[in-house]
Amino acid sequence: MGNEQMAEFLGKKVSDAKVHFERALDCKHTEFDDLYPYMIEHPQFFWYKRYVAWSELLTVVKLSEELQMSWDGQFTEAQAEYIRKRVMSSTVLDCWYETNESKETIG
């Protein structure tokens, strides 16, 4: 696999992981729901589901970095910074979709 193919492959994997994390944030259906259908009834399920999606995203980003492939072009500056910090905090959960416009109106 050449560098261009590898970059395309990893770009797709980053994109897929981002979509998976965002679907988990929005409490939408993901593959995880199919793997553990009995868990939906438990209150901690959505937290765990988000944690799994976040871990997947961090893993794909780490692989991209180790292969010296760019990954941050698919994210806002704030999102890329959250990923670099690697900790899924309440800020990540609450502000993942925050835009520059909303920051200006709040501040």
pLDDT in tens, the chain (107 residues): 788 898 899 999 999 999 999 999 998 988 888 888 887 788 788 888 999 999 999 999 999 999 999 999 999 999 999 999 999 999 999 999 986 544 444 44
pLDDT for the residue 8: 93
The residues, any chain, with a CB within 8 Å of residue 94's CB and separated by 6 or more, are none
Among positive and negative, which fits the CA dihedral 26, 28, 32, 33? positive
For the chain, the domain total comes to 1
pLDDT for the residue 103: 45
> Residue 56 in contact with residue 88, Cβ under 8 Å?
no
pTM (global) more than 0.75: yes
Per the structure, the complete domain to which residue 78 belongs is given by: 3-106
Please name the helix (run of DSSP H) or strand (run of DSSP E) that holds residue 53, with its range, or none.
helix 45-66
Query: Which of 56, 46, 47, 44 has its CA nearest to residue 20?
Result: 56
pLDDT for the residue 99: 62
